[in-house]
A and B are shown apart, each in its own frame.
Chain A
Amino acid sequence: MIKNLIRRTWRELTSASPLYLMSTLTITLSLTIFSFFVLLYVNLEDFTNHLARELVLNVYLRPGTDLKECQNLVKELEKLPEVAKVSYINSQKVLKDLQKLFEDQDLLAGVSPDFLPPLLEVSFKRPFSVLYALPRMAEEIKRDPHVFKVQYAKSWLERLAGLKRFLEILSLTGLGLLGGATLFIAAATVRLVLLQRQEELEILSLVGATAGFIQGPVLLLAFIQALLATGGSLLILWVIHLYLTQALEGIFPGITVQISFFGPKEILILAGGVVLLCLNGSYWASRRFLRY
């Protein structure tokens, strides 16, 4: 039974191999373009999140605040659910940072670290979602008697959030279009292949073959094509990914751009989706040709 199915599938595959090759390639290419844009979208998200994580709330303490009080404040802040990390930066370090910033050493020549406030850097787990809560948080933190000033780069973050939103809308629209096109191309290709076999399937059904007998090889072929197409497009994407990782290295100094690829879960979902699509398309297209 299974042997028979495989034998008949093989016969069909070899008797029309150019047709199956071309159709598999067509599906592979449209799938590659689609997955490329999925990857692009995922990486844009990663990238903007990565940038935003640089966003910190700078909490300047009054000069002379002792270490014990500092630690208490750090604990308080870390209790807040949105906060990822609080780091303490002492006056010496603040001075060094300032020196780095101004480059011109003379400007800070007479400044002693004691005059500079120590600093707490508060970073957030999901920077974009706390964006609108920041003013309130800053206000609350400021009520602490040891706090001298609270500062954050609000306008910068807002612009980044705007950019992120813009890219999201753009790439999601594109993804929607491409997804639709990929669905259409895959379904149409599967149908065109079957159209070539319309007469054969009709004849088989007229001489008494069951639907299972006729559709078995059709579905098996669709399954194989779907797997080959997914595998092929992942391979192409992987090569592109390798190239991009190399090409984009060092484009943004100071930020390590990590281009992410699909994980096992995403690959499974993609393959499953393509298999389902091809099986479904083949099933319904071939069913129409059966004369029962």
Chain B
Amino acid sequence: MDYILRVERVTKIYEPNIKALDEVSFAVEKGELLFITGPSGAGKSTLLKLLFRAEKPTTGEIYFQDKALSQLSRREVPFLRRRMGVVFQDFKLLESRTVFENVALALEILGLSTGEIKKRVLDILEAVGLSGRERQLAKELSGGEKQRVALARAVVNKPKLLLADEPTGNLDAKRTEEVMNLFEDLVAQGTTVILATHDQALFVDRHQRVLVLDQGRLLNP
């Protein structure tokens, strides 16, 4: 099997003693669309944070493209994150910057030319239904709009792995459908997508693997 990601017996304890993840193990194939679900506080966000090394596991190991994340130095971490796109549950937009600037950020850090950045940002904004909103400040956007800007920023640099934390939490049914179609397009192009959600409607009719977390434990490894 060609795994892009392997999680081996990962435990995460937040000081002093909150066990957010407990001996979690699973692997993700290249090009897979994987759902992670579970009740609030189950550890979904924590798991995603470990995957792009915003947090480190207390014990256990995570391999991305066969490289152990614990072995990465401070200098290597940014290059790991560039191969991933992350849609944060709280969006993490630069509130006083425009929609365009927020999305362009992911390309600016790669040192792309302004022309190239402009083209790709406008394309992706169209795909998430935000055409014509480039100049609006992030702080003026509605929750759903912010979520789509965050999504645009996560996918604009064509990551190998997309981590999406409740990416449809603020969207209505129509927008949710659009965003899910976008994810499926990405998967069709070979991107691996891990989607954390407590919304069962997102995966009931899709024949995809679903991992269920409860109090930090994986119920169906």
Contact = CB atoms under 8 A, between A and B. Distances in A.
Interface hub of A1, A203, A211 (most chain B Cβ within 10 A): A203
B74 interface: yes
Contact of B82 (A1, A15, A200, A208): A208
Interface string B86-102: 10100011101000000
Q: What is the interface residue range for chain A against chain B? A: 10 to 19
Interface hub of A1, A15, A207 (most chain B Cβ within 10 A): A207
Interface string A216-256: 00000000000000000000000000000000000000000
Contact of B54 (A200, A206, A210): A206
B127 interface: no
B77 interface: yes
B153 A207 contact: yes
Interface string A172-213: 000000000000000000000000000010111111111101
A125 interface: no
Contacts of B80: 208
Given A15-B96, A200-B94, A292-B77, A207 B105 contact: yes
A205 B78 contact: yes
A291 interface: yes
Interface in B183-199: none
A203 B94 contact: yes
Given A291-B54, A292-B74, A292-B77, A209 B96 contact: no
A209 B157 CA distance: 13
A211 B81 contact: no
A56 B82 CA distance: 78
B78 A292 contact: yes
Interface string A1-27: 100100000000001000000000000
A200 B139 CA distance: 14
Nearest to B101: A11
Interface of A: 1, 4, 15, 200, 202-211, 213, 291-292
Given A207-B109, A209-B109, A213-B109, 18 more contacts: A1-B111, A200-B94, A202-B92, A204-B105, A206-B54, A206-B81, A207-B81, A207-B86, A207-B105, A207-B106, A208-B78, A208-B79, A208-B84, A209-B105, A211-B78, A292-B53, A292-B74, A292-B77
Interface of B: 52-54, 74-75, 77-82, 84, 86, 88, 92-94, 96, 105-106, 108-109, 111, 153
6 contacts: A203-B92, A203-B93, A207-B81, A208-B82, A209-B78, A210-B78
